[in-house]
Amino acid sequence: MSTAVDPAPSPGAVPFLDVVDPAFDFDSPEVARAQAQSWYAQTPLGLLVLRHAEGEELLRDQRLDHGGARFMELNGITSGPIYDWYVPMIINHDGDDHRRLRGLVNRAFTARTISSLRPFIKATAERLADRLAALEVCEFIEEFGDPLPLAVMCELLGVPPEDYDTFGVWTNEIGLVFSLAHGGDIPARVEKAVVGLYGYVDSLMTAKQATPDDDLISRLVAVQQAEGRVTWDELRNLLVTLVFAAHDNSCHQFANAMVAFARYPDQWTLLARRPELTAQAVEETLRWCPSVGILARFAVEDFDYHGVHISAGTPVAIGVYPAHRDPRAVADGGSFDITAERQFTPLLFGGGAHHCLGAALARAELAEALPVLTSRLGPPSIAGPVTWRPPTGIYGPNELPLRFG
């Protein structure tokens, strides 16, 4: 449970964390020391909130927004495909405009829709888990973490199975948009994914308009044509955004979960023996190893927050990873324990009006898959080198070789 916010640290006491250093790791003593010292740290990207109470409060603070154009400009992008996709994205709208767009996308994530997908999620997880059982060493992301949420998303949208592989490459790459600050080949990879997805989604929308089916894209295209509440371009942007949010985040959440269970194999064994702990295991996985390291926001006006003056346009990042382990919010937050009944609000799904629409689907995928995996396979252990995505965006391993006991 979040507690009262501590006073601002004295000048000179504010820690500095170099979050763009390739060697930076949120799961390090340096970050824990910084969190104990102050509710925030300075970084090359601006102010980074380290504690849960402040993070939860600021995610709901209307003096901050996603600042789509500002985010692009800070990363040196002022035009082109990435800019044209990201700036009009639903997260960068507020008020009536946001409600208009969200009202359409809400149709994708009703309780009935999620419930109807659960048998498909479970059957797909069983098929993929049986394949893992036949392997001495598997590449988990390739064999399970990626294909499960990809199949679910494609089932929801109405993407033909023969297009899964091509579609999946784009949906994995586009999530690197939140790591543009790391440079290298990331901007080129994101642009290629945006161009590919935009072209594919546009052609799929056209096909569904001509020959509708019982899938989400068909229904949304029909609503767009009948009601005109959103334009064709707005609907395409919504669908491209939905695609990467539903696939990339879940893919890396599965991989992060396996890393956690490899470190704590007793928790895997416990879940296999007591599947009634699944709901708690899902929440503990989201808390302990979130697939989002940082949520970026920007000040829309000058304001003071707990002794710190924040000027309009200033970037303010919410450190999801450290906030989820904050001992002020979570008793024994530095341990992974699926038996713990925690009163805890995860921050990885955002907050307020912009709370992630796909949160229920992400939980459903984990809830159906974890019992399947633990009932068929022994505890995982890491069986080779692992590299990681930058911690400033969608966070998780690039590859994950595993051996199941």
Taken as a whole, the chain contains a residue count of 405
The predicted pLDDT at position 247 comes to: 80
Sign, Cα dihedral of 67, 79, 82, 109: positive
Which residue shows structure tokens 């901007």?
A: 187
Distance, C-alpha 245 to centroid of its chain: 7
3-state helix, strand, coil in the chain (%, to 5): 55, 10, 35
Determine the straight-line distance between the first and last CA of the chain, rounded to whole angstroms: 36
In degrees, rounded to 5, the angle at the alpha carbon of residue 19 between the alpha carbons of residues 402 and 252 is 30
Residue 1's pLDDT band, with cuts at 50, 70 and 90, is very low
Torsion of CA 55, 57, 58, 59, to 10 degrees: 80
pLDDT digit string, tens, across residues 171-204: 778 878 888 888 889 999 999 999 998 998 999 9
Q: What is the CATH number of domain 34-404?
A: 1.10.630.10
The predicted pLDDT at position 12 comes to: 57
Q: Is the pLDDT of residue 62 over 50?
A: yes
> HSE (CB half, 13 Å, CA atoms) of 137?
8
Phi, psi of 200 (to 5 degrees): -65, -50
Distance, C-alpha 25 to centroid of its chain: 18
For residues 92 and 65, the answer to whether their CB atoms sit within 8 Å is yes
CA distance 93 to 147: 31
Choice among 21-30, 65-74, 241-250, 270-279 with the minimum mean pLDDT = 241-250
Which residue shows structure tokens 């199975």?
A: 161
Residue 4's pLDDT band, with cuts at 50, 70 and 90, is very low
Mean pLDDT of 103-132: 91
User: Helix count (H) and strand count (E) of the chain?
Assistant: 16, 10
Residue 10's pLDDT band, with cuts at 50, 70 and 90, is low
Element containing residue 15 per DSSP (H, E): none
Residue 394's pLDDT band, with cuts at 50, 70 and 90, is confident
Mean pLDDT of 303-327: 95
Structure tokens at 163: 């297009």
CA distance 390 to 318: 15
344-375 CB burial, b ≥16 within 10 A, e <16? bbbbbbbbeebebbbbbbbbbbbbbbbbbbbe
The predicted pLDDT at position 2 comes to: 37
Largest CA distance in the chain: 64
Choice among 331-345, 349-363, 373-387 with the minimum mean pLDDT = 349-363
Please report how the helices 232-263 and 95-105 are oriented relative to each other, as an axis angle in degrees rounded to 10: 70
Q: Is the pLDDT of residue 66 over 60?
A: yes
The predicted pLDDT at position 175 comes to: 78
For residues 2 and 53, the answer to whether their CB atoms sit within 8 Å is yes
- Comparison of pLDDT for 196 and 12, the residue scoring more: 196
CA distance 90 to 239: 10
Q: Is the pLDDT of residue 8 over 60?
A: no
- The share of the chain scoring above pLDDT 90, in percent, equals 63
pLDDT digit string, tens, across residues 150-170: 899 888 888 888 887 777 678
Distances (CA, A) of 167 to 80, 171, 247: 21, 6, 10
CA distance 25 to 319: 12
CA distance 39 to 8: 7
Among candidates 46, 45, 51, 43, which has minimal Cα distance to 8?
Answer: 51
If phi > 0 it is left, if psi is from -120 to 50 it is alpha, else beta; for residue 307 that is left
1-31 CB burial, b ≥16 within 10 A, e <16? ebeeeeebbeeeebbebebbeeebebeeeeb
Mean pLDDT of the chain: 90
pLDDT digit string, tens, across residues 219-265: 889 988 888 888 999 999 988 888 777 788 899 999 999 999 999 99
Sign, Cα dihedral of 176, 178, 181, 182: negative
Residue 101's pLDDT band, with cuts at 50, 70 and 90, is confident
The 3-class secondary structure across 139-162, one letter per residue, is: EHHHHHHCHHHHHHHHHHHCCCHH
